[in-house]
Chains A and B, each alone.
Chain A
Amino acid sequence: MVKSDLAPRGSGAKHDLALEVREVSKHFGGVTALDNVSFSLAPGEVRALIGENGAGKSTLIKVMTGVYRPDAGELRYLGERVELHTPRDAQDAGISTIYQEINLAPQMSAARNLYLGREPRTRLGLVDVRRMVSDAREVLSQFGVYVDPRTSLRELGMGVQQMVAVARAVTTDARVVIMDEPTSSLEPREVDRLFAVIRALRDSGVGVVYVSHKLDEVFAICDSITVLRDGKRVHDGPAAELDRLGLVGHMLGRSPEELRSAAPSRRTPVPHDSEVPALLNVQGLHRRHVLHDVSLQVRSGEVVGLAGLLGSRRSETVKAIFGALPVETGSVHIDGVELAPVTPARALAAGLALLPEDRKLEGIIPDQSIKENIVLAALPRLSRAGVVSDARRDELVEVFMRRLRIKAASPNQKVRELSGGNQQKVLLARLLCLQPRVLLLDEPTRGIDVGAKEEVRALIDELADAGLGVVLISSELEELADGADHVVVLQDGRVAGELSAGHISEGEIMTIIAHHDDQQSQVGS
């Protein structure tokens, strides 16, 4: 147990290391998540923690923050050995964490989430709601979030939620801030804001642990890098000594030469030809305050990107197409046949499939097995007269686990026990075993490692080549620039512009957004 007076914050006490983990191991049943891992963080250091999906990053973080007790090894904080029993202990000691899946109270307002457990109080000891709201407004605006802090979090997009989580973590008086994939739902603009925050933290002597699958970010912000592979530490050193290929090599356990030769080739773009009849034709979706006359077409073999800033309603657009969000007007045609009214079941039957953005809330069924999760949507096809064929199910599951390289102890493992990236692959498998004609992918590469990301991108290409239509949402513009044949840029729920093959680049997309922004708010830059 750490006493809070152990090291008065901001006092002169100097330590070489803010946080240190020595030879920690952690097993889950038969799975070894951490194997003799050591890790250290100096004050004012930004250290990247890198590794494939399932390498053990999140587990290490949970060990460092009192969520898990390690099976072996010890934890040192500010030079002293500590035992953390709960996340609260860690927080009281000054270790502040943003966990991988956003862990906030979704039904409570942004302001309340920001200050949960440390609300400003009046002299009577009551929560000072007014001050809390105005403080929250102020803090959030520093993070580029301009929302009413009284809105409940659930009504805000993932991106905003992520920013609230970040704001919550860094506005405490912490000596160590740990961020497990904080940018997975952030836009470039927000990422830059986050970086500014991290630099400020570093300058004030706070140690930062930074987990991300986006290697650009790692090189942009981190001083040093620790690489985990299969629960073991395989590399530890300054960021400057490593290049991108070398880093990937450590992660995957392959030499840079091997990797270079394996670099995938991109598919040639399909022209957005208005002569060819559209496979998916969306016309004039309108929902008060949310969507305004959104139309788009996807042709067979085409990847249409949806670009936009945080809250530009990309997620809502695909949900509306899929029938998961009611709209007031608008139509959806598949192959010239209208889906009316659109419901998820009907959309699925017509060959439309949606990969939801919020994996935890709308995607996985955490307490069921990988197997059951994969076949969930395909169950009707696997059954005759209401009886499911287990043999056909297992066959299907095996095929897709292999094809997507899902890393798990067995198909019977609970999905809750998988690493984030593997959960995402399970969801992709769920869609693919439906043999859909049009895929709506909302952030398909969110939270998955470079290797898997390449796999998913290649998969998308492959699917498009096989004649599927794909709608792709990604916060990584380069993903759209590389992978999309056509891009529709959304802004505040309306189409702000479109880009066709050959003209798609990160810069073009940003220009449209910026231009549209100007028109909308008449704020000159």
Chain B
Amino acid sequence: MTTLTAPPETTRRRSGLMGQLRERGVYLAVAALFVFNLVFTANFATPDTLRLQLIQAVPIIIVALGMALVIGTEGIDLSVGAIMALAAAVIPLYLGYGVLPAIGMALLVGIGVGLLNGLMVAVVGLQPIIATLAVLVGGRGLALVMADGKLTELFDPTLSALGYGKVFGVPLAVLLTVVLVIMVGFVMRRTLLGRQLVAVGGNRKASLLAGVPVRRTLFAVYALSGLLAAIAGVVLTARTGAANPAYIGLEFELFAITAVVVGGTPLTGGRVRILGTVMGAMLMQLVSTTLVSHNLMDSDRRIVTALIIIGAVALHQARRRSS
């Protein structure tokens, strides 16, 4: 998708705190919402509530990390929700062999579907949105066929530890997420893959002529996205204590894309903001908490969400017009 790329006139000036904040509108929005809740939401400033914000944001953060990489290559991955469902459907099938093999299988399925996406995008040359849309439709169907459409209760101590366990008061799932964020951040900042994927997103033709292994990069990126979605599926399943392929990850593709874009990664590719993505997910979490805490209706919630999305994106797209 092309946005109207502004003529060079719109160069950002990165000077001063205000400039920084404008550049990173999402940080400002998160901060504002946080302060709002501190003041107006009862019981918000308690450790439990704050911890809850993190825990509940975990699945979206994890999925959005993968999505950010895909978007960096000027792609999109609509299949993440379906991959979560597939991961959830696989767990009970293999739980008989032990919890680790079951989780392993779930992650393998995620990678596998990711590779399939990669195949269609990189080798066949399909448009990412349509390739992954097909997987979105078919993948969840497959998950439901595997699970016979049913929710399966899971009673496994290791799984519930993943959902509810804590280390030094920090939930395991949050720790896992921190590790993942650092890893993906490292990939983006320091590795060949990170550099090459933004190059592919910035100008695919030029990258090809500069010897960037475009196909391999795309494969890797979609596989990573699939893997991360599967991890999110496992974590969410662990937290629910039940594999529920019908509902798990519904609309997660849209949440994740929103988190990524609100976080400052352009859909036109060529740039990836990892911390911004995390912030984007946190913003959505805070919006949800705020609205639920103040008992807003579904319709209000949608309207407010719309305004906040526009506000956050507008903030960091706001550019100085040279007068």
Q: How far is the CA of A27 from the CA of B11 in the complex (A)?
A: 10
Which of A169-177, A285-293, A381-389 lies at the interface?
Answer: A381-389
Determine the chain A residues whose CB is within 8 A of the CB of B11 once the complex forms. Answer: 28-29, 417
Which one of B198, B202, B322 contacts A366 once the chains associate, using CB atoms below 8 Å?
B202
Q: Assess whether A143 is interfacial by the CB under 8 Å rule.
A: no
Contacts between chains A and B (CB distance < 8 A), count: 97
Are B8's CB and A365's CB within 8 A? no
Determine the chain B residues whose CB is within 8 A of the CB of A322 once the complex forms. Answer: 209
Known: A27-B322, A344-B209, A376-B210. A68 touches B195 (CB 8 A): no
Q: Assess whether A367 is interfacial by the CB under 8 Å rule.
A: yes
Q: Assess whether B213 is interfacial by the CB under 8 Å rule.
A: yes
Are B322's CB and A69's CB within 8 A? yes
Are B322's CB and A365's CB within 8 A? no
Which of A106-114, A355-363, A514-522 lies at the interface?
Answer: A355-363
Which one of A26, A356, A367, A387 contacts B270 once the chains associate, using CB atoms below 8 Å?
A367
Closest approach, in angstroms, between the C-beta of A86 and any C-beta of chain B? Answer: 10
Closest approach, in angstroms, between the C-beta of B8 and any C-beta of chain A? Answer: 6
A-B contact pairs, 9 of them (CB 8 A): A29-B13, A69-B323, A361-B203, A365-B203, A366-B202, A372-B198, A388-B195, A417-B11, A430-B210
Q: Assess whether A510 is interfacial by the CB under 8 Å rule.
A: no
**Residue of A322, A324, A345, A380 most packed against chain B (CB within 10 A):** A345
**Residue of B7, B203, B208, B271 most packed against chain A (CB within 10 A):** B203
Residue tally, chain B, CB below 8 Å to A? 29
Known: A68-B9, A380-B192, A388-B191. A372 touches B199 (CB 8 A): yes
Determine the chain A residues whose CB is within 8 A of the CB of B45 once the complex forms. Answer: none
Determine the chain B residues whose CB is within 8 A of the CB of A68 once the complex forms. Answer: 7, 9, 322
Closest approach, in angstroms, between the C-beta of A321 and any C-beta of chain B? Answer: 12
Size band of the A side of the interface?
A: 35 or more
Determine the chain A residues whose CB is within 8 A of the CB of B211 once the complex forms. Answer: 344-345, 347-349, 377, 380
B257-297 near A? 1/0 per residue, CB < 8 Å: 00000000000001100000000000000000000000000
Q: Assess whether A71 is interfacial by the CB under 8 Å rule.
A: yes
Are B8's CB and A364's CB within 8 A? no
Having A28-B11, A386-B191, A430-B210, one finds 17 other A-B pairs with CB under 8 Å, namely A68-B322, A344-B209, A345-B211, A348-B210, A348-B211, A362-B205, A362-B206, A368-B198, A368-B270, A372-B195, A372-B198, A376-B199, A377-B211, A379-B192, A379-B212, A390-B190, A417-B11
Q: How far is the CA of A367 from the CA of B203 in the complex (A)?
A: 9
Closest approach, in angstroms, between the C-beta of A189 and any C-beta of chain B? Answer: 29
**Residue of A67, A347, A367, A386 most packed against chain B (CB within 10 A):** A367
Q: Assess whether B20 is interfacial by the CB under 8 Å rule.
A: no
Q: How far is the CA of A345 from the CA of B217 in the complex (A)?
A: 13
Are A361's CB and B205's CB within 8 A? yes
Q: Assess whether B53 is interfacial by the CB under 8 Å rule.
A: no
Determine the chain B residues whose CB is within 8 A of the CB of A383 once the complex forms. Answer: 191-192
Q: How far is the CA of A388 from the CA of B12 in the complex (A)?
A: 28
- For window 203-260 of chain B, which residues contact chain A by CB distance below 8 Å? 203, 205-213
Determine the chain A residues whose CB is within 8 A of the CB of B9 once the complex forms. Answer: 28, 67-69
Q: How far is the CA of A68 from the CA of B196 in the complex (A)?
A: 33
- For window 65-114 of chain A, which residues contact chain B by CB distance below 8 Å? 67-69, 71
Determine the chain B residues whose CB is within 8 A of the CB of A347 once the complex forms. Answer: 211
Q: Assess whether A407 is interfacial by the CB under 8 Å rule.
A: no
Q: Assess whether B178 is interfacial by the CB under 8 Å rule.
A: no
Are B208's CB and A324's CB within 8 A? yes
**Residue of B7, B205, B206 most packed against chain A (CB within 10 A):** B206
Which one of A62, A354, A387 contacts B209 once the chains associate, using CB atoms below 8 Å?
A354
Q: How far is the CA of A416 from the CA of B9 in the complex (A)?
A: 11
